[in-house]
Each structure stands twice: as structure tokens, then as C-alpha cells.
Amino acid sequence: MAPVKFYFCSPSPPARFNLMAIKYMKLDVEIVVVDLLNGEQHSPEFLKLNPQHTIPTIDDNGFILWESRAIATYLVSSKAPGSTLYPTDVKKRALVDNRLYLDHELQMAFLGMVYPVYRMGAKEVSKSQKEKMYKALGNLNTFLEGQKYVAGSELTLADLALLATVVSIQEMGANVKKFNNITAWLKTLESVPGAQENLEGAQLFANFVKSMIDLKQTWEDSVLNRYLQKQDVPVISDNKSLKMAPLKFYHYRLSPPSRLVLLTIRNLKLDAEIVVVDLLKGEHLAPEFVKVNPQHTVPTIDDNGFVLWESRAIATYLVSSKAPGSSLYPTDVKKRAVVDARLYLDQELQIAFGGIAYPILALGATEMPKDKREKVFKILGNLNAFLEGQKYVAGSELTVADLALLSTMAGLQASGANLSKFSNVSAWLKSLESVPGAEENRDGAQFFGNLIKSKINLTGTWEA
């Protein structure tokens, strides 16, 4: 067996995350450097390997995988199963997954802020991206209250992922020091294997961006200060009372991630008590709900005292805990890795689309900016490519990745996105028309889409 080929570039935060995980596990890999800053990811050879042209990518004896968090969990499961980096206990694992999705969100906010500078010549960083970044940092700071590591008392992949992202943000000049818990946690991680290379890579990237724009004045604390206040973190207990209460599911039908959990519950035929949290009435900010989930997002579940949020972490937790072995989340490590990669693609799509929908729904925006529409359509192009010659998004069987993308796509469709160019996506959507829960999903998406259209008086369709 040849060693795993690891396509790497040190300025890239997700690539540095994988490097630290590889070093932690002492895996033998062949590092292939792809110089992103010089566009080497667009070379024909690399595009053949990964049409999404992203770093990191691995080639494990012909099994090609990208999406850093999917790579990292795959490497643990296939090369170091049982490692505490990615616990096998379903609840512990679900919390690690929750934090990995938080890291993806933080990283997208950060890259979305600097990308226009170094790729498109912007002379200012976007205030809304900066705000999203500080909001995610504020959540991280909250989760670290009274905890040594981001998902509990042991170091996991989520720490390494967030370390790569947070150090990148700090080196770019953000005032991370203001977040006390994050600062203490960074100190704890100072000597994890690869920490020095992580720092150097982050500095290289920061210097590259700073050579194009003076970032000093852009980190004003007024935005940051809003996210400094501490929240109570719920005590997550494993309540083993004799009488098992049904699963409590905090839901709002307008929300795409919430509809993913609904679809999962319906496909697994689970008994759940649905608690409606009306976001339009601000019920998510009610003290009772913030006590359950300090990040005050739907979906959230309470499974007999085990509280979890982040839709994709919930979906995989539900399969693993209530229907282990279900093909909705395959146990084969390679198949599962592809499902994970597509779940991260879905998160990317949802955040990109959220960048259009949220300002319209909540901030009075009256248009869909072109750069944001282009982002969404680029991801749709990737999805269309992955569906070429395949029935489902991760292969020949229906998985939670289909349900995730179905909930997101239903919202896009209902808001008037013109999908006619994407024939594979359209055929796949058709094939999912009657999965359990599809109708409720459509109904919620319609409500969401109509609201968007009515706010901006959109009668036709939109595209890139």
C-alpha cells in the first residue's frame, strides 16, 4: 500500500488542520504541495483529481477525497480507529461534529471576508462578513466556558480544526485576545504537533493579504464587543431516567437546516415531540430557549437530556444512535466519508444562500447582490457535477446528505432560483419527490420562498 498522498498548501487553514491531525496520529503521508497563491489548483492534472479544485485533497490508493473535516474524520476512522481525536461514543462524537460545523462556519466567514481582497482587489473588508466571524468566535468563547477543549475534556479533531482557523484570523489582525476563554485555549494548544507550522502558514497568508490592503483600521472593536458577553452553557447530562421521554425537536418549518432534521426523523420513522420556535416572532431569543441552546438556533434536539444543535450533526447522531447500520449514514468508512463531504458542501451552499436570504428577511435588503448569486451558482455547478452518472449525491443509495441538500434546494427553488441549467440536479430533485417528509419539506420551503419573493417583489426567477 502506498502512503496516502496529501495535497497541501501552508496558507490554507483547512490544509493546516489536516496536517496537524496527520502529525498527531503520526501517519505516514506523501505531501504534495499545490501553490494556491499561484493558482496551481487550476492545473489540468489537479482538476482531474478534484474538479472542485480545493486544498486539502487526499488520494488514499485511488480513493480521492476533499473537504478537510471529512478527510480528518476519514483518516481517524480508517487509520487510527479508536483514537480520542474522534471518539466512537455517539454523543461525544456528535459534539465533535457540532464543533466541526461551527469551525466550517467560522472559516467561511473569515475566507469570505479576505477573499474579495486578495482575489478581487477589494480595498475594504465586508462589515457583514466580519460580523459573522466575530459572532462565531463569540459562540466558540461561550462553548469554552469551564472546559479545557472545545468538545469537552479531551483534545479532538474539532480543536485542531478551530486552531487552524482561529490562528489564521488572529494573524490577520483580529483582536482575538479579547475572548478570554479562546485565549486560554490557544495557550493550551501551543505545543500540539504541527502548531509551529500552523502559525507560520497563517503568517504567510496574512502577510500576503496585508500586502494588498491595510487591515489595521478594519478590526474596530465595536463589532467585536457585541459578541463578548458570556452566555450560560447548558449542562449536558446523560439523563438515564427509567421512563424515556420522546425526542424533543425544536423546529421551525421556514428554516432549511431544521427541515433536514424533520426529514431525518420522518425517514427514520422516529417518534418526536415537535416544539415550534417561531423565528419570525423572535421566539428563539426567549430566555427559556437560549438556556437550552446558547447559540439560539433551530434545529436543536433534546434527547433525554442530551442537547445538540447543528442540523447535520443532529442528522448523523440520530442515525447512529437510533438506527445504527442504516444506509442513510453508511458505516463503511469510505462511503461515510463521501456523505460527510457532501454534508459540508450542503453547509457551504446554505451559508452562501443565507448570505442572500438573511439580509432580505431580517435586514430590509431589497436585492440579491450579483457576487452572492454567483457564489450560490458556483456551488450548484459542483453539485450538478457530482451527480453526473449517479442517482444520489454520495453514490447509489439515499443518505442524509441527500436529505440535507434536498432541504436547502427546496428553499432555493421556492425562492425562484432558476435551476434549468442543472439537469442532473433537476433529475435528482425529481427522484426525491416522494421520500418520507418531502411534502412537509416543500410546504416549509414554499413559506420561506414566498416570504423572500414578497419582500423584494420578485415574480420571476433569478440566477447568477
User: Quick one: which of 257, 330, 411, 449 contacts ligand GSH (CB under 6 A)?
Assistant: 257
Q: Does 299 bind ligand GSH (CB under 6 A)?
A: yes
Dihedral Cα 36, 42, 46, 48, nearest 10 deg: 150
Residue 162 near residue 103, CB atoms below 8 Å? yes
Residue 225 near residue 138, CB atoms below 8 Å? no
Q: Does 101 bind ligand GSH (CB under 6 A)?
A: yes
Q: Does 103 bind ligand GSH (CB under 6 A)?
A: no
Packing angle of the helix pair 256-267, 311-322 (nearest 10 deg): 10
- Measuring CA to CA, how many Å separate 361 from each of 286, 290, 413, 454? 20, 21, 16, 10
Q: How far is the CB of 310 from ligand GSH (least distance, A)?
A: 5
Q: Does 296 bind ligand GSH (CB under 6 A)?
A: yes
> In this structure, is the dihedral angle defined by the CA atoms of residues 75, 76, 77 and 81, taken in order, positive or negative?
positive
Looking at the annotation, which residues are catalytic?
255
User: Quick one: which of 279, 343, 406, 445 contacts ligand GSH (CB under 6 A)?
Assistant: 279
Nearer to ligand GSH, 279 or 394 (CB): 279
Q: What is the rounded distance in angstroms from the CA atom of residue 283 to the CA atom of residue 307?
A: 18
Nearer to ligand GSH, 101 or 428 (CB): 101
Nearer to ligand GSH, 36 or 406 (CB): 406
Q: Does 293 bind ligand GSH (CB under 6 A)?
A: no
Using CB under 6 A, which of the segments 75-83, 207-215, 303-311, 414-422 binds ligand GSH? 303-311
**Long-range contacts at 235-243 (CB < 8 A, ≥ 24 apart):** 236/95, 236/305, 236/306, 236/307, 237/305, 237/306, 238/91, 238/304, 238/305, 238/306, 239/304, 239/305, 239/306, 240/304, 241/304
Q: 3-state SS string over 180-200?
A: HHHHHHHHHCCCCCCHHHHHH
Number of residues counted as binding ligand GSH (CB under 6 A): 13
Does the N-terminal peptide bond of residue 299 adopt cis geometry, omega within 30 degrees of 0?
A: yes
User: Quick one: which of 53, 253, 266, 284 contacts ligand GSH (CB under 6 A)?
Assistant: 284
Using CB under 6 A, which of the segments 309-317, 335-343, 411-419, 420-428 binds ligand GSH? 309-317
Q: Does 142 bind ligand GSH (CB under 6 A)?
A: no
Q: How far is the CB of 270 from ligand GSH (least distance, A)?
A: 18
Q: How far is the CB of 282 from ligand GSH (least distance, A)?
A: 9
Q: How far is the CB of 423 from ligand GSH (least distance, A)?
A: 28
Site for ligand GSH in 236-255 (CB under 6 A): 255
For residue 245, count other CB atoms closer than 10 A to its CB: 12
Residue 243, SS3 per DSSP: coil
User: Quick one: which of 103, 302, 310, 340 contacts ligand GSH (CB under 6 A)?
Assistant: 310
Nearer to ligand GSH, 179 or 309 (CB): 309
Instruction: Write out the residues near ligand GSH by the rule CB under 6 A.
Output: 101, 255-257, 279, 284, 296-299, 309-311
